[in-house]
């Protein structure tokens, strides 16, 4: 019987013995040390994760104590007006003296301004003949809109394509000749004449003709524009801006300059508009705001800050400032300084409506006022910010204590079954919990104030636990409000203060916590090496067993082959009797 080509590594193919299962069973027993090491490795990984979580909580508590160490925490102040719906804006810097300050404002600070001459623009027409002057092109401050307006109860229709003369004719026609209109280029005004009182306007008028031309009722038979009609074209270059006075103080290229509060402002007649020049003033360091008043047809310079501070303007004669009536002859409208008193004292002044320590002498207190009233400003300790920081410390402290208790607890059921936690056998970590409790319970030495321990702030441990609680909220608020300096000494005294002690200890156990995780990591590295070494021996042992059984199968295969050959060569003979 031949076995050529048969795979003798197949378990029991010749012998009938399942030696592979037998080998697996032997190796499973031999693998027990690796299983044990893997369990130890998993436990170390879980312990490392728990210690890392604890480290995060330690860092959070350190952050909380750092916040309690902020230099302005226990000196911070709030300032509020006791007047209902006050629009004043008080504020108090850290360390401002607490108390009530009665501030009586009798005058608000205002801005000084220099007003240019009115009506600096040319008249709307060079002659009294306005037959060629169309409504659409009227150089007035406000453009006229098409529609209807009323004169003596009669509707007059105006179109943008009409000339001003045609509108005058329409007025006469609508009123049956009772009202006539004319224009005087020397006064730059329109006059309406009637035999009796001229009545202008109606609620259903659709054109703004009357208001745009400054015409309004005066109870008489003659109505004249209340002011000159022509204005400067602020968007055109200065050479064609319709200024009533020519600008001559320029060089051959049309360039000139003027000074505002000593700051030079350049312009060019051919390229700059009045709008551009005003913007240039506003963007300069002159400290003024320049604007154009279209109704009065004038330029106004106003200080950027309040108070009785002057505005100087200078330029060579014949310059832009002369054309705008802003040269030395223009009127300076003085600003006012704020006037006020504190707690019934002498009258004080301030160039600003923000009354600060330089004005009233109360260091750290600032009140922005906007009304001439008397209000009381209450300055007090910012107990909300202080309390929030303390509450955060209590929360972070309790978080650590609860975590250590949960991770190190051991429980026993009624039937005697004991269950442990990841850190049940970690006496060092459990010692941290005890030390934290002792630190929180202890007194800070060397203090002369009324606060020497947390209990003085109404903070103590919940009975039977390591959890802090604010047991007397009123006591805490009173201490923060009335004894904030003592509270600051308790928490912030260098080296021996509560925060210093807590930070020192937290830094210490933080290092110890890191050392523990490092040791666990190293242990797992060593375990990996041990597992690798054992696995190499087991792999060798498995190979030796496998080779032995394959050899056995091979030997048995040969025996069977030889036996078959003998049987074939010497067949058995049967004798018949």
Give the number of residues written for the chain. Answer: 577
- Answer whether residue 4 shows pLDDT above 70: no
In terms of C-beta distances under 8 Å and separation of at least 24 residues, what long-range contacts does 453-460 make, across chains too? 453/490, 454/498, 456/490, 457/390, 457/487, 457/490, 459/390, 459/394
* C-alpha–C-alpha distance, residues 396 and 462, integer Å: 15
Residue 176, Cβ neighbours under 10 Å: how many? 9
DSSP codes, 408-437 = H--EE-TT--EE--TTTT-HHHHHHHHHHH
Q: What pLDDT score does 10 carry?
A: 57
Q: What is the pLDDT of residues 70-112, one digit of tens each?
A: 999 999 999 999 999 999 999 999 999 999 999 999 999 999 9
Q: What is the pLDDT of residues 29-78, one digit of tens each?
A: 888 888 898 898 999 999 999 999 999 999 999 999 999 999 999 999 99
Q: Average pLDDT for residues 279-307, to the nearest whole number?
A: 96
* C-alpha–C-alpha distance, residues 110 and 303, integer Å: 10
CB of 151 within 8 A of CB of 181?
Answer: no
The tokens for 121 are 């623009």
DSSP codes, 302-313 = EESS-BS----E
Q: What pLDDT score does 413 carry?
A: 80
The answer to which of 7-11, 158-162, 456-460, 479-483 has the lowest mean pLDDT is: 7-11
* C-alpha–C-alpha distance, residues 358 and 547, integer Å: 100
Q: What pLDDT score does 27 carry?
A: 82
Q: What pLDDT score does 1 carry?
A: 40
- Candidates 203, 197, 276, 195; CA nearest to 235 is 276
Share of the chain above pLDDT 70, in %: 96
Beta-bridged to residue 468, according to DSSP, are 461
Mean pLDDT score of the chain: 92
Name residues whose C-beta falls within 8 Å of residue 188's C-beta, 6 or more positions apart in sequence.
119, 123, 124, 225, 228, 229, 230
Query: In the structure, what pLDDT confidence band is assigned to residue 576 with cuts at 50, 70 and 90?
Result: low
* C-alpha–C-alpha distance, residues 114 and 301, integer Å: 5
- Cα 519 to its chain centre, rounded Å, is 44
Cα separation values, 343 from 31, 101, 236, Å = 90, 6, 56
- Answer whether residue 328 shows pLDDT above 70: no
Q: What pLDDT score does 8 carry?
A: 44
Q: What pLDDT score does 153 carry?
A: 96
- Answer whether residue 325 shows pLDDT above 50: yes
- What value, to the nearest 5°, has the Cα angle with vertex 411 and ends 408 and 413? 170
* C-alpha–C-alpha distance, residues 50 and 400, integer Å: 12
Q: What is the pLDDT of residues 382-411, one digit of tens each?
A: 999 999 999 999 999 999 999 999 999 988
**Model pTM above 0.75:** no
Share of the chain above pLDDT 90, in %: 80
68 burial via Cβ count (<10 Å: 0-12, 13-18, 19+): buried
């Amino acid at each position: 019987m031949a076995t050529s080509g048969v795979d003798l590594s197949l378990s029991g193919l010749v012998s009938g013995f399942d030696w592979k299962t037998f080998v697996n069973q032997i190796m499973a027993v031999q693998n027990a040390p690796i299983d044990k090491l893997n369990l130890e490795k998993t436990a170390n990984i879980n312990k490392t994760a728990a210690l890392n979580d604890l480290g995060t909580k330690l860092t959070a508590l350190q952050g909380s104590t750092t916040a309690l160490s902020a230099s302005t925490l226990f000196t911070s102040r709030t300032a509020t007006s006791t007047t209902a719906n006050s629009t004043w804006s008080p504020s108090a810097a850290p360390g401002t003296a607490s108390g009530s300050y009665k501030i009586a404002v009798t005058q608000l600070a205002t801005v000084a301004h220099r007003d240019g001459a009115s009506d600096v623009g040319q008249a709307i027409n060079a002659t009294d003949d306005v037959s060629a002057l169309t409504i659409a092109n009227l150089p007035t401050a406000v453009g006229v809109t098409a529609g209807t307006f009323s004169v003596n109860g009669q509707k007059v229709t105006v179109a943008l394509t009409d000339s001003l003369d045609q509108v005058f004719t329409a007025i006469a026609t609508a009123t049956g000749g009772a009202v006539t209109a004319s224009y005087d280029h020397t006064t730059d005004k329109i006059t309406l004449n009637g035999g009796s009182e001229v009545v202008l306007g109606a609620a259903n008028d659709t054109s703004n003709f009357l208001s745009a031309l400054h015409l309004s009722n005066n109870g008489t038979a003659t109505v004249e524009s209340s002011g000159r009609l022509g204005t400067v074209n602020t968007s055109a270059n200065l050479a064609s801006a319709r200024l009533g006075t020519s600008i001559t103080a320029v060089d051959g290229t049309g360039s000139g300059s003027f000074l505002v509060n000593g700051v030079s402002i350049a312009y060019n007649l051919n390229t700059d508009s009045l709008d551009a020049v005003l913007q240039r003033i506003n963007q300069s360091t002159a400290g003024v705001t320049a604007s154009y008043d279209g109704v009065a047809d004038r330029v106004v310079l106003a200080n950027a800050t309040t108070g009785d501070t002057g505005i100087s303007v200078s330029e060579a004669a014949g310059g832009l400032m002369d054309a705008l009536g802003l040269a030395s002859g223009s009127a300076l409208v003085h600003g006012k300084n704020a006037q006020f008193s504190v707690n019934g004292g002498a009258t004080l002044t301030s160039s600003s409506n923000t009354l600060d320590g330089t004005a009233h002498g109360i260091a750290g207190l600032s009140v922005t006022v906007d009304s001439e009233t008397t209000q009381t400003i209450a300055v007090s300790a910012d107990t909300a910010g202080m309390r929030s920081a303390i509450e955060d410390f209590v929360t972070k402290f309790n978080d650590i204590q609860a975590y250590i208790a949960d991770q190190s607890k051991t429980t026993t059921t009624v039937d005697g079954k004991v269950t442990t936690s990841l850190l049940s056998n970690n006496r060092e970590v459990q010692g941290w919990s005890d030390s934290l409790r002792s630190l929180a319970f202890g007194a800070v030495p060397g203090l002369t104030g009324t606060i020497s321990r947390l209990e003085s702030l109404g903070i103590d441990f919940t009975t039977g636990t390591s959890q802090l609680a604010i047991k007397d909220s009123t006591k805490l608020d009173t201490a923060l409000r009335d004894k904030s300096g003592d509270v600051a000494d308790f928490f912030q005294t260098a080296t021996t203060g509560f925060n210093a002690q807590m930070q020192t200890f937290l830094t210490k156990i933080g290092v110890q916590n890191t050392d523990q995780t490092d040791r666990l990591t190293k242990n797992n590295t060593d375990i990996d090496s041990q597992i690798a070494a054992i696995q190499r021996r087991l792999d060798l042992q498995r190979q030796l067993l496998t080779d032995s059984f394959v050899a056995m199968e091979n030997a048995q295969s040969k025996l069977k082959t030889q036996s078959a050959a003998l049987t074939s060569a010497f067949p058995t003979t049967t004798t018949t009797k």
